Amino acid sequence: AQSVTQPDIHITVSEGASLELRCNYSYGATPYLFWYVQSPGQGLQLLLKYFSGDTLVQGIKGFEAEFKRSQSSFNLRKPSVHWSDAAEYFCAVGADSGTYKYIFGTGTRLKVLA
């Protein structure tokens, strides 16, 4: 069965430090992969997505993610974190071609220290 794992429930970084959020997936075919961000009390905003092609994907707000098929990973990175990046981040994989359903990870909550 398809699954998505975000191994880190909480991450704390200092403002200006680099960030990497981990995402591992289990999926039989080439997956569609997504990262979303959720600010407190808000809905989910799409940061970036991977469908095919270049495995390094650029997104909004200075984020990028790299698809590594051999490691079944799609880790999210940012070279310098800003206090406004404090939020919850969700990785998702598009499941079951034709049904357009996603499977979401359980999320990583990011805290940024001033």
Partner 1 sequence: DVKVTQSSRYLVKRTGEKVFLECVQDMDHENMFWYRQDPGLGLRLIYFSYDVKMKEKGDIPEGYSVSREKKERFSLILESASTNQTSMYLCASSHRGTGDETQYFGPGTRLLVL
| Interface with partner 1 (CB under 8 A) | 9, 32, 34, 36, 41-46, 49, 51, 90, 94, 99-102, 104-107
Residue placing its CB nearer to partner 1 in the complex, 100 or 114: 100
The backbone torsions φ and ψ at residue 69, rounded to the nearest 5 degrees and listed phi first, read -60, -40
Q: 18 vs 42, which CB is nearer to partner 1?
A: 42
Own/partner pairs for 50-59, CB < 8 Å, 24+ apart? 50/74, 59/35
Beta pairing partners, 109? 10, 88
Q: 27 or 107: whose CB is closer to partner 1?
A: 107
